Each structure stands twice: as C-alpha cells, then as structure tokens.
Chain A
Amino acid sequence: MTKFVLQRLLSALPTLLLVSAFVFTLVHLTPTDPVAQILGEGAPAADKDALREQMGLSRPIFEQYIDWLGGAVTGDLGNSLYTSIPVSESISTGIGITLSLAIAGMAIALLAGVPLGVLGALRPGTTADRLLTTVVALGLAVPSFWLGLLLVLVFAVNLGWLPVVGYTPIGEDPGAWATGMILPAIALGSHTAAVIARQTRSAMIDALESPYVTTLLARGIRKRKIVLRYAIKNAMVPVLAVIAIQMSVLVAASFVIERIFAVPGLGTMLIDSVVRADYPVLQGAIVLVAVIVLLVNLGADLLYGVINPKVRPQ
C-alpha cells in the first residue's frame, strides 16, 4: 500500500515538473511588465532597469526557473512583487479557505446528487424521474455565480436568514464561519450535484440491469437490500472517477464564488495577481492547484481500490 502511494507520487513528479515549467514560461510571457506596474509607466528607464536587475528579472528565463525550482523544493516560492510577503505564506492561508469551500461544495453535491441519482434510477421514465432529469439539466446549465447572486438575493437580502457576503475565519467564530459558508457552498456545489446525479442515475440503471441483480433476486434477497447493499456499491465505481474530476473543477470554480461572496481565498489572490502580473504569486498558486489536483486523483485511485477489489493495490 505504502509502496503504491510512493510509486504514484513518484510518477506524478514529471507531470508536476512539466506543469511548473509550463506555468513559469507562461507567466513570464505576460505582456504586463511588473516593473512598470510598480514604478509607473512614466518612470525613467534607468530606474526600471535597476529594479529589474534587483528583482532578478533580467537574467535568462531558464536560470530564473532553476532558481525558483530550487526554492520551491524547500518550500520557498519567492516573495510577492508588490507586498513582499512570502508567497508560500499568503497562498497557504488562501488555499485553506478555498479548500474548505470546495470540500463544503462537494459535501452538498454528494448529499444531493447521489440520492437523487439513485431515486431516478429506481423508476426510470416516470414523472418523478423526468422531473429529476429536468432539474439535473438545469443544474448543469446554471452558472454558479448567477446562482450565487440569486441565493443572496432570496436568502440574505429578502428573507434575511443568512449573511449577505463576507467571510469570518473559523478561528474567530465557528458559528459565523459555518453560516457564512452555506450559500457559497450551495452555489458552488449545485453544478457538481447535477453532474453526480446524472452519473449516479446511469450507473445505477446499469447496475440494476446487471445479471448479478437477477441472481440476487433469484436467491430471494429483498429488493431493498439489493439496491442498498449491492447496486449502490457497484454504481459508485464509475461515479468515483467523476467525483475526482469534479473535486478539481470545484477548486477552480470556487475562485468565482469567492469573488461573489467576498471570501479571501486563493481565487481572490490569483485574480489580483493576474491583473498585476505578480509572477511569484501567480505561478505559486497555479502550481499549488496542480499539486492539489494530482493529490485528489491519487486519493481517488486509493478510494477506487477500496470499493473495487479488482484494482486494489496488493
């Protein structure tokens, strides 16, 4: 088991290296000049060159990358060009907030998506199933930021049940943190809920039509037990792959949600750094997201082995 995890981590390294090189190059191709951003467009050329030299931006890009990589291995991702705060420090607070939002969104997506998918599969073609299919189709089409706005409009502005926007750190007031997370998590999770419901429904229909279900029926095992114990576990095998993909989708989608609800996560930081061409923050954040995606996929593979004995690492 440990060997399997280590192997997987090792095989992810080349991808990670490529991602970082790709992002590094990409970020340094940005037409926005950070020096001009800091000193102003009209600053004397000599001052600009001096600052560029000081920031190490005049060296060949390959050298800069090796430097950055050397630092990254030891956890040093450089400092922000604007605030001089170490990147690792600022993105680690941001990623915590983003991840907690993404996990809350996934929790909502699973709680809604799996039962809905199972219910649809039990009676395919009925009115209830059609209604469900319609809701799922809508869920797939509604942009999460619009849903967020509507939720705020209804539950915060009109009904006043929940706070409008704003984020309370969990350390300050866990209650306020939780109530503040409800609307963002729903807005974020609804699309994923629809994806999971659709996958679950088709996987459950396949499972319920499988020969082993006929066998179980022929043994006199109760339908309820067949659905709950056998069909759902079989159906979860293909759904799990979707959940893994959706987890990384949620991390990216939470960037937009953060903006609507004024949550100071990685996304807010990232969009600021895009606009300001803050290279170190930008590349640190993107590489971090890539690391998270790779870890999520590894986690999914391990979980895959738990429910599907055929691929269980020996």
Chain B
Amino acid sequence: MTDQPREGTLQSTAVLTEQTDPAGIEPGDGAAAEAAAGPRAKARTLRRMLRQPVTLFCLAMLLLQVVLALGAPLIAPYDPAAPNVANKLQGPSGDHWLGTDDLGRDTLSRIIYGTRTALLASTESVAIGLVLGVGLGLFVGYRGGWWDRIGMRIADVMQSIPALLLALALVAVLGSGLGNAMLAVGLIFAVSFMRITRAVVLAEREKLYVDAARVLGLRSSGIMLRQVLPNVSPPLIVQASIALGTALLIEATLSFLGVGIDATQVSWGAMLDASRQHVSEHPLLAILPGAAITLSVLAFNLLGDGLRDAGSPRSAPRAGSGKKAKLPIVSTPVPSPDDALLRVDGLTVTDRNGAQLISDVSFHIKRGETFGVVGESGCGKSITAAAILGLLPKGVTIAGGSIRLEDSELAGLSGEALRQVRGKRIGMVFQDPGSALSPVHTVGRQLTDAIRAHSGLSKAEAHDRAAELLTLVGVPNPQERLKDYPHQFSGGMAQRVVIAGALACDPELLIADEPTTALDVTIQAQVLDLLASLRERLQMSLLIITHDLGVVADSCDRVAVMYAGQIVEQRSVEDAFAEPKHPYTEALLAAVPHSETDGEPLATIPGRVPPAWAWPQGCRFNPRCPYATDDCRTGTVPADADGVRCLRVTELQLAGAR
C-alpha cells in the first residue's frame, strides 16, 4: 500500500523519463525491490539478518539447543530414565539442580534429553513436509490439468480437518511412537508447502522465458527448475522456520495427550502431563517443561519473522541517505500581491534524514485564479501540495518558510486548528479515485461525513446536501448512487465523487493533485472542464498539480515549473509557453509530441531527476542541461523576478511551444 507511486506512470502524450517520487517515502531503490534470488540479494539478506539482535539471539538459542540435544549424554548429570523412588519429588538442591519428579528422576537431565526429542521431532516432520510438499507442488504445478485439480482437492480435504485432529487420526492408524506422530505432522506440513511451491511454479510458467525456451526446442522443465527453486526458497525458509515451532508444539501436545510417544522417550509434553498430579505441591515440575516448550517455539517463530523481515526490501535502509552534508535552509522573500489568497514563502520540506524534498519554494494564488505546478515526477510537486494541508508523510516535516491563507499561518498548524482548515477552507482532490475512497463504505456515508465535519447539519440534511453535491459534479441519479460503493463507479464518475467530497464545505481553494492522471484519456478533458466550471461557479481558487503540459495549457492562468525540489520558472502560461526562460521549461515543451513533427524523432530529456539526497551542486538541472557551463556547477542560483533560476537567463534564446 505504501509503495504505490504517488504520481503514477506517464501518459502517452509526453516522453519524460519517469521515476518514483521521493514523496512516496521509498525513492527509486530499484535494486532492493528485486526478488531475493541471486547471490547479492542473499548476501544482503544475511547482512540485514545479522543486524537484528532478536534474530541473533534466536540463532544463539537454537545453537544452544542443538548442542544440548547432541551432547545430552555428556551434559546431563543423570540418566533421565533412571528411577530413584527414595529421592522422589525433591526440590532443587546441590545434587539435583532442578529437583526430581514423582519417580525420583532428575528434572534437569530430563529437560536436556527432552530437547533432543523436541528437535528431532520437529526437524523430522519439517524435512518430511519439505521433501513431499516441494515435490508434489512441483509436480502438480508442472502437469497442471487434472493432476492439479486432484492435488488441490486433496489439499482442501486435508485442510478441512484441523491439523491436531488429523495428527491424532494418523497416529491412531500408524500406531503411537515419535516417528509415526511426526510423519503425521510432516504430511500436514506437506500440504502447505505444496501450495507455496505450486503457486511459484504457476507464476513462473506465465513468464516469457518459458515460452522462449519452448520456441528454441529446449525442455522448459529444466530451466524452470533452476528458476523455481531459488524463487520458492525464501518463502519456504520462513515457513519452515515457523513450521519447526508448530511441529514442536504439536509433538508436545500429542505427548501431553499420551498418544504421541512411547514411555522410553523423554518429552517435555509428557513431563507436563506427569506433573499434573503434583502441580499444586510441586509447581516447578509443571513450570520447567512448559517454559522449555515456550522458549523453543518462541525462538523458531522469531527466527522466521526475522528472516522474513530481512528478506523483504521494505526494511532496507535507504542507499546513500545521510551521507551528504545537509543543505543550508535558504528562504528568499518574494513579494506577492495584497489580494493573494494563498502565499507560500520560502517553503523547505525535509525528510527524516534531513534531505530537502523541496527547497525555498515560493508562490502565490490569487482569488479566482487557476495556478499550475508542473514538472516530472520526483520534483516535489505533490510534497508541496501535501505540505499546504499538513498531510506530509511520516517523518517528513516543514523545515522552513511559511504558508499563509489570507492572514492565517498554516505551517506548523496541528490538531483542531488544522482540522478547521482542511475541507472547510481548502479542499483537495487526489490522483487515483480508486484508492481515495474507502472501498467498504458507501459513497453517501463518505460524503455526509465530509459535510458534517464542518457543519451542524443533521444526518438527513447532510444526505440532501450530498445529493446536491453529486448533482453539482454531474453524477446522474444522485439519490440512488449515494447508496452505492466506490467499486460500482467508473473511474471518471469516482473522480467526480472525490471532487464532490472536496467541495462539501465550500472551500476557498481547491488543490487538485494529478486529478486526471489515473483516468482514461477520453475522461480527462471532462474532469478538467468540470473543475474549470466549478471554479467559476463557486468562485474558488484552483491549484493544479500535474506533469502534463496539456493540462496546464488548457486550464491554468499562471504556472510554476518545478525541478528537483525548486521552482525554476514561474510566469503566466502564455509567456512561459511562448518564450520559456529556463532550459528545463524548454526541454519539457520540446518533449510534448505534436502532429506537425510526424517523422521527426521525439525529443526526450536525457537522464532523470536525481533523488532528494543527491541534488546536484550549483544549478540542480546542470547535469541534464545542454546549455550548462562551469559556472552552473558551483554556488547557488537565485530566482529572478519571474522566478527563473538560471545563470544564463539573459543570454539564452529558448524555443517555445511549437
């Protein structure tokens, strides 16, 4: 959920290089997102694992258990099965550190030998489960068809009987004894291992290389085996670790019930069962084996969790973060007209490592004006919008500058004061209407809650108002549609619902963050027209965030071009498009395809937006700028009266929109 790119993929109308937005918390660390296969990924997983103290502790615990299990005859002070009735039910003493049981057997020795039984039992059953499960999973996955159907039906049958019950039944068939009990448990694990393996095989079968191999006349099974095994091992290792804990628990349970084990073997579960008669006078007899079971299962479970965390790219620390010296926070005051509704002044936003996601951003929006912010993904447009409403992601904060709505300061606002602005004075429309609405609540519920957030309307009044809003944004049959859920709306209609929600309390400013990116091309124009007509009818101001210059040309009065966290040019749309002053604006305009240029290769901007912790020295655009000189690579570039951050602004003659 969190790593959805906030800006979406690029439309077909521009050929800018797209990259994950740093606003999406996880910057383009593509390498980490690779499957955990391959030696490099394995080494990385191992390194991460070794940095988890809990995992290390669990590994140490397991090592200790293995040593105890293997060396039991040497380590245990007494024969665990030797009765000594004269010495029965003794408390801890110098001779018997943990006391003796009802037959006078040494508890410490029995716990040590119990480790042996427990580990043997769990490894045996997991090994059986792995061999059988992976084999069957590969088989039904490859053969597919009837084999697959029969295999999955048997899996269903096995899983409709609870594991413990199945183990009981199988033990009844196979006869008691540790080996049989664990064979039963192994069969149960085989079912879940089979499901995992089969899923990976099915996924691999869909991949192109299998087709390619077939075309070349190669046997696809050999190639797939080499692909499937590395892909299936990470989830299997995690599952196996947890299965080891489960097996241990089942072994203890069966022994406790007296069906799993014969009398010659020492088991923690059987010790617990035997302790029941004496538990009130000798609680230690019950506490010790139970604690041993709990600790062992805990170690296996936590190890499994640790392996899973280490293998998942989410926990990867961000490459390169914190390596660079922090940039100074600069705030350049920029004059703005008295009638401005929103004034953003020298706004700087940093992430938790101090990297500046946006630097010294200043702009204003007048009443009734439509203002556009344009740039590639990763330039800080969405962060700017989120900062205005205090919706920055966790760890991302405003480090400097101010955001004023008329006379009230929004930066640093929190709690009730912030809530009073959200929805009431500033409304917001999001990129993807599919995810901006709660899937399990009716549209009516979501609209009435938005309405009642800032008004004392009754439920019935709010309901009427919600229907009015739907009419306003052009959703037909509003009374009926209020009862519908978001998935019953098409993308364009759902975006109209999101817009209705933003308008619920008559805001003075509407922020639209990529309002058309997730929509079909045919719907985009309708939604833009709707926004324009609403702005006029409701006399709002409109802030449109987009990477689509077409949207800016159609809808906006003025535009700010953002690159690498800075505004690099800020002018009226006609001027900026006709005679751009910043090379980045020129490059953006050149990358818009035109029908007249048929046959010419489409211009692209070489390179891509650097991540926030690696903004270039000097002009941030210099590595991609065809006009860059040595001067552009040092110092800082201030903005001129038109908001243009370019040292060569007076000498360059740049091409406008064609």
Binding site for B on A (CB under 8 A): 14-15, 18-19, 22-23, 26-27, 29-32, 137-138, 140-143, 145-146, 149-150, 152-153, 157, 206, 209-212, 214-222, 225, 229-230, 233-234, 237, 248-249, 251-253, 255-256, 259-260, 270-271, 274-275, 277, 282, 286, 289-290, 293-294, 307-310
Q: State the Cβ distance, B357 to closest chain A Cβ, in Å.
A: 17
* Chain B residues with a Cβ closer than 8 Å to the other chain, count: 76
- The reply to whether A26 and B157 contact each other, CB–CB distance below 8 Å, is no
Interfacial chain B residues near A32, Cβ < 8 Å:
172
A-binding segment of B66-74, B275-283, B627-635: B275-283
Cα–Cα, bound, A196→B389 (Å): 35
Counting CB contacts under 8 A, is B215 at the interface?
no
- The reply to whether A219 and B453 contact each other, CB–CB distance below 8 Å, is yes
Interfacial chain A residues near B485, Cβ < 8 Å:
309-310
Among residues of B, the one whose C-beta sits closest to the C-beta of A248 is B162
- The reply to whether B169 and A259 contact each other, CB–CB distance below 8 Å, is no
In the A-B complex, the 3 residue pairs with the closest CB atoms: A252-B162, A220-B423, A146-B290
Counting CB contacts under 8 A, is B521 at the interface?
no
- The reply to whether B391 and A212 contact each other, CB–CB distance below 8 Å, is no
- The reply to whether A229 and B172 contact each other, CB–CB distance below 8 Å, is no
Interfacial chain A residues near B389, Cβ < 8 Å:
217-218
Cα–Cα, bound, A143→B298 (Å): 11
If A15-B156, A29-B173, A251-B162 touch, whether A218 touches B423 (CB-CB below 8 Å) is: yes
- The reply to whether B287 and A150 contact each other, CB–CB distance below 8 Å, is yes
Cα–Cα, bound, A217→B391 (Å): 8
Among residues of A, the one whose C-beta sits closest to the C-beta of B291 is A146
Interfacial chain A residues near B275, Cβ < 8 Å:
149
Among residues of A, the one whose C-beta sits closest to the C-beta of B154 is A18
- The reply to whether B430 and A30 contact each other, CB–CB distance below 8 Å, is no
Contact indicator per residue, chain B 1-41, by CB within 8 Å of chain A (1) or not (0):
11010000000000000000000000000000000000000
Most buried by A among B293, B294, B432, B438: B438
| B424 contact from A142, A212, A220, Cβ within 8 A | A220
Q: State the Cβ distance, A240 to closest chain B Cβ, in Å.
A: 11
| B173 contact from A26, A149, A308, Cβ within 8 A | A26
Q: State the Cβ distance, A30 to closest chain B Cβ, in Å.
A: 5
Q: State the Cβ distance, B332 to closest chain A Cβ, in Å.
A: 29
Interfacial chain B residues near A19, Cβ < 8 Å:
157, 160-161
Q: State the Cβ distance, A314 to closest chain B Cβ, in Å.
A: 11
Binding site for A on B (CB under 8 A): 1-2, 4, 153-154, 156-157, 160-165, 168-173, 175, 245, 249, 252-253, 256-257, 259, 269, 272, 275-276, 279-280, 283, 286-287, 289-290, 293-295, 297-298, 301-302, 389, 391, 419-424, 427-428, 430, 432, 435-441, 446, 449-450, 453-454, 485, 487, 498, 501-502, 504-505
- The reply to whether B391 and A218 contact each other, CB–CB distance below 8 Å, is yes
Q: State the Cβ distance, B150 to closest chain A Cβ, in Å.
A: 10
Among residues of B, the one whose C-beta sits closest to the C-beta of A252 is B162
- The reply to whether B245 and A249 contact each other, CB–CB distance below 8 Å, is no
| B422 contact from A143, A209, A220, A230, Cβ within 8 A | A220
| B257 contact from A23, A138, A210, A256, Cβ within 8 A | A256
- The reply to whether B298 and A137 contact each other, CB–CB distance below 8 Å, is yes
Cα–Cα, bound, A266→B422 (Å): 58
Q: State the Cβ distance, B15 to closest chain A Cβ, in Å.
A: 27
Q: State the Cβ distance, A74 to closest chain B Cβ, in Å.
A: 23
| A149 contact from B290, B295, B487, Cβ within 8 A | B290
- The reply to whether A141 and B297 contact each other, CB–CB distance below 8 Å, is yes
Interfacial chain B residues near A14, Cβ < 8 Å:
153
Among residues of B, the one whose C-beta sits closest to the C-beta of A285 is B165
30 contacting pairs across A/B (C-beta < 8 A): A15-B153, A15-B160, A19-B161, A26-B170, A32-B172, A137-B301, A141-B297, A143-B252, A146-B293, A146-B294, A149-B272, A150-B287, A216-B438, A218-B391, A220-B423, A220-B450, A221-B449, A229-B449, A230-B441, A233-B440, A234-B438, A253-B164, A255-B164, A255-B168, A256-B257, A260-B276, A274-B169, A293-B162, A309-B440, A310-B439
| A309 contact from B163, B293, B301, B439, Cβ within 8 A | B439
- The reply to whether B161 and A210 contact each other, CB–CB distance below 8 Å, is no
Q: State the Cβ distance, B630 to closest chain A Cβ, in Å.
A: 44
Among residues of A, the one whose C-beta sits closest to the C-beta of B389 is A218
